[in-house]
């Protein structure tokens, strides 16, 4: 029985009614890292790892929600939405976001389960929030636009649950298209669809299975560095709104006032925004080799200039670089300090690459990596 059928059956067994069914995917980001909070360009794509929601209005103010994978249920009133520590916090945040817009006429009965790996950089929490927001919109026939749902999902994660995040993850989950990436302008929140044919290549994520302690503070430190640099640059160039507007020339002119560390990190952001635009052009030309070269270039910028990589991530990318006929491009994906690399692997070379990585990674770190083959899939939708 499929995951969808399991979820639907569990819902019927518990609530004795037929639910609406919604599928919400996780996401990858092909290129454009740490630039969303600088109003830059990113290239996320929805993937075939997803959550399935079975939902109906509850008929009163009560919410009855079951996490299928944990066999753990929670019941509460829509008038009693208090942030906590558990998984339910994200869904409460979505309900709160609807309530603040006057869009919560009653509660919900829901069973949710899925196969988006947590902590592997595939935005599982964003998929959870986006899918639940879409489902509420559907069962209550609110007809809110997907961008509004993305903002509600971001509110749930960022404001209600207190997790630092931009809107890229929620946007990718809601707007994703099958066999395509989204070239997203983080200023206008308008995207261009870039079809990606994976006939000659496969996308493979390799999870280091480590998360270094710098992960949370490191993100905030990098963000602060960007804000410090921007404040200095604006004194000379008041028309600048974000690092997205800054050129290399402007940075060099302000170098003395920025200090070495801020200059280097700000330069990475400026270069990564440019790199994402060049990457989009290469993908549109179906230049996979050229795109792969930019992936490697982006990784070493993240590692050496932005300083958000780690020994394990660098090791995996060096393994990928050993044979360009096997792996066309690779880089760390996500906030850094652990998590996954994303690898553009030549079709037919996946198993050989996995075996090489498995052996050498274990020999070096005494830890088994995790592998995820991913396809580019449709965004949140009713099944």
Residues 213 and 189 in one domain: no
Residue where the block lists tokens 């037929």 = 18
Best CA proximity match to 79, nearest among 93, 62, 101, 66: 62
The model scores a pTM over 0.75: yes
Q: Is residue 380 part of a domain?
A: no
Residues 192 and 255 in one domain: no
Residues 6+ apart with CB under 8 A from 222: 34, 265, 306, 308
pLDDT at res. 29: 98
Residue 383 resides in a domain: no
Question: Which residue range forms the structural domain that includes residue 266?
Answer: 201-374
Our count of domains for the chain comes to 2
Nearest to 34 by CA among 218, 188, 261: 218
DSSP string, 337-376: SEEEEEEEEETT-HHHHHHHHHHHHHHHHS---EEEEE-B
169 is an active site residue: yes
Whether residue 125 lies inside any domain: the answer is yes
∠ Cα 276 182 291 (to 5°): 40
Long-range contacts of 309-313 (CB under 8 A, 24+ apart): 309/336, 309/337, 310/208, 310/210, 310/212, 310/336, 310/337, 310/338, 312/208, 312/210, 312/338, 312/361, 312/365, 313/208, 313/338, 313/339, 313/341
Q: Where residue 12 sits, what CATH number does that domain have?
A: 3.30.230.10
272 and 131 belong to one structural domain:
no
What is the phi/psi pair of residue 320, to 5°? -65, -35
Secondary structure tally for the chain: helices H, strands E: 12, 13
60 belongs to a structural domain:
yes
- Are 141 and 209 within one domain? no
Residue 164 reports pLDDT greater than 80: no
Give the CATH number of the domain where residue 365 resides.
Answer: 3.30.70.890
Across 244-257, average pLDDT: 98
Last residue of a domain, one of 173, 197, 221: 197
pLDDT at 315 over 80: yes
* Mean pLDDT within 22-33: 98
20 and 38 fall within a common domain: yes
Average per-residue pLDDT in the chain? 96
Q: Are 369 and 207 in contact (CB under 8 A)?
A: yes
Note whether 186 and 97 are same-domain residues: yes
- 382 within some domain: no
Q: What is the DSSP string of 273-302?
A: HHHHHHHHHHHHTT-HHHHHHHHHHHHHII
Could you give the CA distance from residue 20 to residue 263 in angstroms, rounded to a whole number? Answer: 51
Same domain, residue pair 130 and 228: no
What pairs with residue 63 in β-bridges? 76
Q: What is the pLDDT of residues 31-68, one digit of tens each?
A: 999 999 999 999 999 999 999 999 999 999 999 999 99
Among 177, 197, 217, the domain boundary falls at: 197
Marked catalytic residue, from 36, 96, 109, 169: 169
The mean per-residue pLDDT over the stretch 79-88 comes to 87
Question: Which tokens in the block code for residue 160?
Answer: 């209600």
| Residues 180 and 206 occupy one common structural domain | no
Instruction: Choose between 26 and 121: higher pLDDT.
Output: 26
């Amino acid at each position: 029985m499929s995951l969808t059928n399991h979820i639907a059956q569990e819902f019927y067994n518990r609530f004795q009614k037929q639910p609406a069914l919604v599928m919400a995917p996780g996401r990858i980001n092909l290129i454009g890292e740490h630039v969303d909070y600088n109003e830059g360009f990113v290239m996320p794509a929805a993937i075939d790892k997803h959550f399935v929601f079975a939902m109906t209005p509850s008929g009163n103010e009560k919410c009855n929600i079951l996490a299928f994978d944990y066999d753990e249920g929670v019941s509460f009133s829509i008038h009693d939405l208090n942030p906590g520590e558990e998984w339910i916090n994200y869904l409460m945040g979505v309900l709160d976001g609807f309530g603040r817009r006057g869009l919560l006429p009653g509660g919900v009965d829901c069973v949710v389960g899925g196969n988006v790996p947590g902590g592997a950089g595939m935005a599982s929490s964003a998929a959870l929030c986006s899918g639940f927001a879409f489902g509420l919109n559907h069962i209550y026939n609110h007809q809110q636009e997907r961008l509004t749902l993305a903002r509600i999902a971001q509110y749930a994660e960022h404001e209600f649950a207190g997790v630092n995040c931009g809107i890229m993850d929620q946007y990718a989950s809601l707007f994703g298209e099958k066999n395509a990436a989204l070239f997203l302008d983080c200023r206008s929140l308008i995207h261009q669809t870039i079809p990606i044919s994976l006939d000659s290549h496969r996308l493979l994520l390799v999870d280091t299975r480590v998360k270094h302690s710098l992960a949370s503070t490191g993100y905030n430190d990098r963000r602060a560095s960007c804000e410090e640099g921007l404040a200095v640059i604006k004194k000379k160039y008041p028309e600048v709104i974000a690092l997205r507007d800054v050129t290399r020339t402007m940075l060099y002119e302000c170098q003395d006032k920025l200090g070495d560390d801020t200059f280097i990190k700000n330069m990475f952001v400026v270069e990564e925004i440019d790199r994402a635009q060049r990457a989009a052009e290469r993908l549109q030309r179906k230049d996979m080799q050229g795109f792969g070269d930019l992936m490697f270039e982006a990784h070493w910028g993240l590692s050496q200039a932005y300083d958000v990589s780690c020994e394990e991530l660098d090791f995996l990318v060096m393994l990928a670089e050993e044979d360009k006929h096997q792996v066309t491009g690779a880089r760390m994906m996500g906030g850094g300090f652990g998590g996954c690399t994303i690898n553009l692997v030549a079709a037919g070379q996946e198993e050989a690459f996995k075996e090489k990585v498995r052996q050498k990674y274990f020999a070096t770190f005494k830890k088994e990596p995790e592998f995820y083959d991913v396809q580019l899939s449709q965004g949140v939708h009713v099944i």
